């Protein structure tokens, strides 16, 4: 009985903290994405990138993010796993992580005209999947920033 | 040193190529930060200390790759790729590789 009460309290707390953090994070991401809306990023240009304009600067830009879910999300996902279907709680974690990493990369290249050949690399750090371990995802986004003269 | 992850350096011509250069690093944070991250794991959100760890690892891997290219006499590395893998919990490996080349401005 005590175990169940403890679990419920834990779930309640982590639900509250998790949803507050997620809401704030999404607001933050949206604000920054709107600020960068005029800066295009593209993921082609690896083979041949030709332009007639003079190029001032070329550099590799990267953005990193390590994001984790919370206890509540993990609990819901483990229940959903029984029936299959979309694990919406995990989708939002990965979505936030990717967008954050891409935003960090774009913010480093503020002066550049655009970023070409963007790649996104992600990996689960916590691969020992047990009931108590929460997925942690490390994401690196990188690309080449081109600045015209 | 010019780094790009495309197969050329725009505005420049490649005059010589020296082959593949690589750089890798495995880094871990201390136990206190691991414990902090474990707590953060319960409530959710970004793990700042691990993000920092990943940034440091990426910088070091790229620096090692650059050093190797520099020793060969190259002044640019093209087609750079970054790969990550997890060795154990709390440690991150970042691996950077690319082709060392010598470039000259066009015209």
Mean pLDDT of chain B: 87
B82 CB neighbours in chain A (<8 A) are: 62, 119, 121, 140, 142
- A100/B46 touch (CB, cutoff 8 Å), yes or no: yes
In angstroms, rounded to a whole number, what is the distance separating the alpha carbons of residues A61 and B21? 19
Q: What pLDDT sits at residue A49?
A: 66
Q: What pLDDT sits at residue A141?
A: 93
A104 CB neighbours in chain B (<8 A) are: none
How many domains, chain B?
1
ipTM score here?
Answer: 0.86
Q: What pLDDT sits at residue B100?
A: 94
Q: What pLDDT sits at residue A129?
A: 54
pLDDT in tens, A89-127: 888 888 999 999 999 999 988 888 888 888 998 887 765
On the question of pLDDT at A134 being above 70, the answer is no
Task: Tally A–B CB contacts below 8 A.
Answer: 131
Q: Of A14-18, A110-114, B38-42, B80-84, which gets the smallest average pLDDT?
A: B38-42
Q: What pLDDT sits at residue A128?
A: 53
What does the domain layout of chain A look like in residue ranges? Answer: 2-148
Residue ranges making up the domain that contains B32: 2-105
pLDDT in tens, B59-85: 999 999 999 999 999 999 999 999 888
Query: Domain containing B48 — which CATH number?
Result: 3.30.110.70
Higher pLDDT, B55 or A132: B55
Q: What pLDDT sits at residue B85?
A: 82
Q: What pLDDT sits at residue A79?
A: 84
In total, chain A counts a number of residues equal to: 149
CATH topology of domain A2-148: Translation Initiation Factor IF3 (3.30.110)
- B44/A143 touch (CB, cutoff 8 Å), yes or no: no
Among the partner residues B5, B55, B92, nearest to A125 by beta-carbon distance: B92
Q: What pLDDT sits at residue B80?
A: 92
Q: Of A8-22, A45-59, B61-75, which gets the smallest average pLDDT?
A: A45-59
Helix segments in chain A, DSSP class H: 2-35, 71-83, 88-108
- Torsion sign, CA atoms A31, B44, A99, B59: positive
Task: Give per-residue burial for A20-45: e unless 16+ CB within 10 Å, then b.
Answer: ebbeebeeebeeeeeeeeeeebeeeb
On the question of pLDDT at A132 being above 60, the answer is no
Higher pLDDT, A133 or A44: A44
């Amino acid at each position: 009985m005590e175990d169940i009460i403890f679990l419920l309290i834990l779930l309640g707390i982590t639900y509250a903290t998790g949803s507050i953090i997620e809401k704030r994070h999404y607001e933050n991401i949206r604000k920054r994405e709107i600020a960068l809306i005029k800066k295009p990023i593209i993921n082609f240009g690896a083979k041949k990138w030709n332009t007639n304009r003079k190029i001032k600067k070329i550099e590799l830009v990267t953005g990193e993010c390590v994001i984790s879910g919370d206890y509540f999300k993990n609990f819901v996902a483990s229940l959903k796993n029984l029936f299959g279907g979309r694990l919406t709680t995990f989708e939002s974690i990965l979505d936030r992580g990717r967008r954050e990493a891409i935003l960090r990369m774009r913010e480093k290249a503020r002066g550049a005209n655009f970023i070409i050949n963007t790649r996104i690399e992600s990996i689960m750090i916590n691969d020992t999947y047990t009931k108590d371990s929460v997925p942690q995802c490390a994401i690196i986004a990188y690309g080449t920033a081109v600045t015209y003269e | 040193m010019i780094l790009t992850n495309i197969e050329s350096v725009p505005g420049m011509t490649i005059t010589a190529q020296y082959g593949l250069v690589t750089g890798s690093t495995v880094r871990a944070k201390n136990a206190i930060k691991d414990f902090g991250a474990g707590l953060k794991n319960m409530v959710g959100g970004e793990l700042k200390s691990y993000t920092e760890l990943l940034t440091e690892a990426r910088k070091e891997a790229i620096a090692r790759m650059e050093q190797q290219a520099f020793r060969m006499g190259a002044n640019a590395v093209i087609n750079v790729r970054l790969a990550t893998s997890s060795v154990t919990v709390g440690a991150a490996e970042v691996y950077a590789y690319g082709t060392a080349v010598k470039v000259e401005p066009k015209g």
